Amino acid sequence: MMERSTDGVECHILVAPVFDQKVNLVTFTIDYVYEAQSGLWIIELHNGEDSRLSACLIDDALRPALDVVEKHWTNNRLTVLRGSQHPDPKSNAGEGALIIVGKRDQDKFFSNGFLYDSVKDNPDFFNDTANPLYARLLAFPIPTIAAINGHCFASGFMLALACDYRVMTDGSRRRAWLCMNEVHFGAAWPFSFAAILNAKVSEPALRRRIALEGHRFTPTEAHAAGIVDRLANCSGTSVELGAEIVLKEAMKLAKEVSALPKQGVWGTIKTFLYKDCLEAVRSDAREHVLPRPPGPAKL
């Protein structure tokens, strides 16, 4: 882990080395973690062009990034509270929100799901890597927002569902879909996926459309169905600006909800709210082996 200061903003760069045997080359997956404003943290996903969720990305970058955010939020809150016998309820002590966004120099993908090679030969991948990530987000102590700046497929969709809120491009500049496409390439879901879907989507017909039909939801459809909370108007923008507009809309939402964790019970309430889901995610002992690599989603 390295740290740098850019315009006064502390930026944590978490680097995970990945050895590619095919080309005998070491590449890197990276998460950029920084406090964009007081109490507002952003995690930017980096893993190739489509931010695949590999074991390295999750274990060595994304989960440590969550540690960084929670530590900073906790320290900020406790520093103010310990310094005063009668904390001012109007102070911003304990305010906070976290945004997870796809690679910001493009607007095609938020995340295209798991990296197949991370899953196929590792029966412990879900127990040791994926499920702890989802459980952490489900009970995270400050509001979490997925800034969906492009296609969001399979486990990338689950990552977004595990967040508290979802803001998505409206698809006006470039099409974008939300889709659980496992049914189309023959991969059974792990129990944890079903638990998260049941916890976050209440309508049975909508769950059927997501899980059993593998429907590709346009941003408008996803918003109308309540999967996505807000759409960002990206019409007439460049590739780079498309992602930034989605992020800007997510930051607006973050500002609106950032006061909710001030009393320190946001995560506790979520733990009770998602009790059954969390128990299922943490106890999912199923071996999960894909029959064949899905490859990139056909766009």
- Cβ contacts of 123-127, under 8 Å, gap ≥ 24: 123/287, 123/288, 123/289, 125/55, 125/288, 126/190, 126/192, 126/284, 126/286, 126/288, 127/284, 127/285
Q: Please report, for the domain that includes residue 248, its CATH number.
A: 3.90.226.10
Give backbone dihedrals phi and psi of 181, rounded to 5 degrees, phi first: -100, 15
Q: List the single range of 21-25, 137-141, 209-213 with lowest mean pLDDT.
A: 21-25
Predicted confidence (pLDDT) per residue in 263-282, tens digit: 999 999 999 999 999 999 99
Q: For residues 3 and 32, what is the distance between their CA atoms, to the nearest angstrom?
A: 10
Joined tokens for residue 291:
């029959």
Q: What is the pLDDT at residue 93?
A: 79
Question: Does residue 147 lie in a domain region?
Answer: yes
Q: For residues 8 and 14, what is the distance between their CA atoms, to the nearest angstrom?
A: 19
Contact (Cβ atoms closer than 8 angstroms) between residue 195 and residue 161? no
Mapped onto helix, strand or coil, the DSSP state of residue 237 is coil
Question: Does residue 204 lie in a domain region?
Answer: yes
Q: For residues 7 and 47, what is the distance between their CA atoms, to the nearest angstrom?
A: 26
Q: For residues 207 and 192, what is the distance between their CA atoms, to the nearest angstrom?
A: 14
Q: What is the pLDDT at residue 20?
A: 38
Predicted confidence (pLDDT) per residue in 50-108, tens digit: 999 999 899 988 999 999 899 999 998 887 667 665 555 566 778 999 999 999 999 99
Number of domains in the chain: 1
Domain of 213, in residue numbers:
2-80+94-282
Q: What is the pLDDT at residue 64?
A: 92
Contact (Cβ atoms closer than 8 angstroms) between residue 90 and residue 262? no
Q: What is the pLDDT at residue 171?
A: 93
DSSP 8-class letter at 187:
-
Burial of 290 (0-12, 13-18, 19+ CB in 10 A): middle
pTM tops 0.75: yes
Question: Does residue 85 lie in a domain region?
Answer: no
Burial of 205 (0-12, 13-18, 19+ CB in 10 A): exposed
Contact (Cβ atoms closer than 8 angstroms) between residue 183 and residue 141? no
Question: Does residue 292 lie in a domain region?
Answer: no
Joined tokens for residue 288:
């999960």
Region 207-227: what's the mean pLDDT? 98
Question: Does residue 298 lie in a domain region?
Answer: no
Question: Does residue 269 lie in a domain region?
Answer: yes
Give backbone dihedrals phi and psi of 56, rounded to 5 degrees, phi first: -65, -45
Measured CA distances, 65 to 83, 131, 182, 208, 285 (Å): 27, 16, 28, 33, 26
Q: For residues 127 and 260, what is the distance between their CA atoms, to the nearest angstrom?
A: 31
Q: For residues 107 and 28, what is the distance between their CA atoms, to the nearest angstrom?
A: 21
Predicted confidence (pLDDT) per residue in 103-123, tens digit: 999 999 999 999 988 888 888
Q: List the single range of 44-53, 110-119, 230-239 with lowest mean pLDDT.
A: 230-239
Question: Does residue 297 lie in a domain region?
Answer: no
Contact (Cβ atoms closer than 8 angstroms) between residue 185 and residue 177? no
Contact (Cβ atoms closer than 8 angstroms) between residue 201 and residue 227? yes
Region 2-30: what's the mean pLDDT? 42
